[in-house]
């Protein structure tokens, strides 16, 4: 599979589509790829969609990558167009270019089309898909669909084992699937190297956008514990807060290999999670099984007890995550190896 996307062709251009002005884990990974390709001499560009007239499409947090962008994709056979799974309709606008869907999540793919992931079965069946899509916008009807012969020549990148499992279940040709995950911003890795137990406080950090229905139950159950939401903060503020926290909880959907659990772990926090999405396997979230709990009210007591043990026995508990931290530190090198293998 080495060099499949570029091969021996000269004058190859790679275009990576990304939402304009948006800063989150997925868009940063898209920036990281273009940066990595340009470092190895590949003619790679960002291609922004959902642009706002007069506004800079590059979010301030991504200015460090200094990636050039284009307004027009050159639709030539030797070129490559990579789009996130939430914007596969873009690929319909081109006839010749090599097309890649990058599965940064699974759940968001179905959300982008206005369906819950529970409907992914019917969406794979042409007759049922037509019934479900009746009345939807014409752009949604142009999205990639599994088992649709029109898309047999697409390539696929997977950011997580969770995504890889989903594509295997959909019988996507394994020779057209490449593993290409992400790595953390250096701000978190560097901060994690200097995090010390003496700076840690008995606080629990959580993302209110992730599984808040269950998290709110846990907060109410643990009335004497301080919970701090990660919201309305700059990256610098998030780094500083994670350095102080002994525990990070995440009972969200885990639609891909999420960044915040890794950012918290590398910063020295103990991780307590649910079992949904990518958290359900030991590849994407390789923490001890005893720190993963189903989102069931009957588990509130045992989760509360585990949080308190992490507070009282912090140094012993945080050491259980050292293997995970080593994997996180190795992610950047793995990313560059995978880029080399795919685009050599």
| Residues 130 and 220 occupy one common structural domain | no
99 compared with 112, residue with greater pLDDT: 99
Distances (CA, A) of 341 to 2, 66, 85, 179, 212: 5, 24, 22, 10, 39
Q: Are 327 and 183 in contact (CB under 8 A)?
A: no
Number of domains in the chain: 2
pLDDT at 80 over 80: yes
Count other C-beta atoms under 10 Å from residue 30's C-beta.
26
| Residues 227 and 173 occupy one common structural domain | no
The C-alpha atoms of residue 255 and residue 105 are separated, in whole angstroms, by 5
Domain CATH number, residue 68: 3.40.50
| Residues 177 and 225 occupy one common structural domain | no
Torsion from C-alpha of 243, 245, 249, 255, nearest 10 degrees: -10
User: Using 50, 70 and 90 to split pLDDT, how confident is the model at 1?
Assistant: very low
Distances (CA, A) of 291 to 87, 137, 320: 34, 43, 10
pLDDT at 322 over 60: yes
Tell me the per-residue pLDDT of 154-190, one tens digit each, with 9 for 90 and over: 999 999 999 999 999 988 999 999 999 999 988 888 8
Residue recorded with tokens 């949080």 = 307
The C-alpha atoms of residue 125 and residue 264 are separated, in whole angstroms, by 40
Residue 336 included in any domain: no
| Residues 202 and 322 occupy one common structural domain | yes
CA angle 280, 266, 220 (to 5 degrees): 60
Residue 325 included in any domain: yes
| Residues 230 and 173 occupy one common structural domain | no
Tell me which of 182, 215, 248 is where a domain ends.
Answer: 182
| Residues 168 and 20 occupy one common structural domain | yes
- Strand extents, DSSP E, 30-166: 43-49, 69-70, 80-84, 98-103, 155-158
| Residues 111 and 130 occupy one common structural domain | yes
User: Using 50, 70 and 90 to split pLDDT, how confident is the model at 2?
Assistant: very low
DSSP 46: E
| Residues 58 and 137 occupy one common structural domain | yes
Count other C-beta atoms under 10 Å from residue 205's C-beta.
24
The C-alpha atoms of residue 159 and residue 180 are separated, in whole angstroms, by 5
Residue 172 included in any domain: yes
Sign of CA dihedral 38, 40, 43, 48: negative
Q: β-pairing, 226-229 with 245-250?
A: unpaired
Share of the chain above pLDDT 90, in %: 69
Tell me which of 182, 202, 223 is where a domain ends.
Answer: 182
| Residues 167 and 298 occupy one common structural domain | no
| Residues 204 and 136 occupy one common structural domain | no
User: Using 50, 70 and 90 to split pLDDT, how confident is the model at 116?
Assistant: low
The C-alpha atoms of residue 14 and residue 335 are separated, in whole angstroms, by 17
Domain CATH number, residue 293: 3.40.50.2000
196 compared with 152, residue with greater pLDDT: 152
For the record, the structure tokens of 19 come out as: 């939402």
pTM: 0.85
Tell me which of 139, 163, 182 is where a domain ends.
Answer: 182
Residue 7 included in any domain: no
Count other C-beta atoms under 10 Å from residue 200's C-beta.
22
Tell me the per-residue pLDDT of 252-299, one tens digit each, with 9 for 90 and over: 999 999 999 999 999 999 999 999 999 999 999 999 999 999 999 999
Residue 337 included in any domain: no
- Give, to the nearest 10 degrees, the angle between helix 186-194 and helix 259-266: 30
pLDDT at 128 over 60: no
Smallest CA-to-CA distance from 124 within 145, 149, 108, 139 is with 145
Residue 273 included in any domain: yes
Q: Collect all residues with Cβ–Cβ distance below 8 Å to 331 and sequence separation of at least 6.
A: 181, 182, 183, 184, 262
CA angle 61, 64, 68 (to 5 degrees): 105
Q: Collect all residues with Cβ–Cβ distance below 8 Å to 181 and sequence separation of at least 6.
A: 158, 159, 160, 257, 331, 334, 335, 338
Smallest CA-to-CA distance from 129 within 112, 111, 101, 148 is with 148
| Residues 164 and 203 occupy one common structural domain | no
Tell me the per-residue pLDDT of 221-265, one tens digit each, with 9 for 90 and over: 999 999 999 999 988 899 999 999 999 999 999 999 999 999 999
Residue recorded with tokens 């529970």 = 118
Q: Which domain holds residue 80?
A: 13-182
């Amino acid at each position: 599979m080495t060099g499949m996307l570029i091969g021996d062709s000269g004058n190859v251009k790679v275009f990576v589509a990304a939402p304009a002005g948006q800063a989150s884990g997925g868009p940063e990974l898209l920036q990281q790829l273009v940066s990595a390709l340009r470092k190895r001499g590949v003619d790679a560009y960002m291609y922004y969609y959902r642009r706002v007239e007069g506004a800079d499409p590059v979010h301030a947090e991504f200015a460090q990558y200094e990636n050039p962008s284009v307004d027009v994709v050159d639709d030539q056979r030797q070129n490559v167009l990579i789009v996130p799974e939430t914007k596969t309709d873009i690929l319909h606008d081109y006839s010749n270019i090599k097309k890649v869907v990058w599965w940064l999540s699974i759940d968001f793919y179905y959300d982008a089309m206005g369906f819950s992931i529970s409907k992914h079965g019917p969406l794979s069946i042409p007759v049922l898909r037509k019934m479900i899509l009746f009345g939807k916008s014409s752009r949604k009807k142009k999205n990639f669909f599994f088992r649709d012969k029109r898309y047999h020549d697409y390539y696929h990148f997977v950011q997580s084992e969770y995504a890889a499992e989903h594509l295997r279940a959909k019988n996507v040709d394994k020779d057209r699937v490449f593993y290409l995950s992400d790595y953390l911003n250096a701000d978190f890795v560097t901060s994690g190297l200097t995090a010390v137990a003496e700076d840690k406080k008995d606080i629990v950090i959580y993302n209110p956008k992730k599984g808040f229905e269950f998290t709110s139950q846990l907060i109410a159950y643990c009335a004497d514990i301080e919970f701090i939401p990660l919201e309305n903060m700059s990256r610098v503020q998030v780094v500083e807060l994670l350095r102080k926290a002994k525990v990070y909880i995440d009972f969200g959907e885990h639609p891909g290999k999420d960044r915040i659990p890794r950012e918290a772990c590398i910063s020295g926090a103990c991780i307590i999670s649910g079992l949904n999405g990518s958290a359900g396997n030991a590849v994407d979230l390789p923490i001890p099984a005893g720190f993963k709990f189903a989102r069931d009210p009957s588990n509130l007591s045992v989760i509360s007890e585990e949080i308190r043990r992490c507070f009282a026995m912090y140094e012993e508990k945080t050491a259980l995550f050292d293997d995970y931290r080593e994997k996180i530190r190795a992610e950047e090198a793995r990313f560059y190896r995978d880029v080399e293998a795919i685009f050599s």
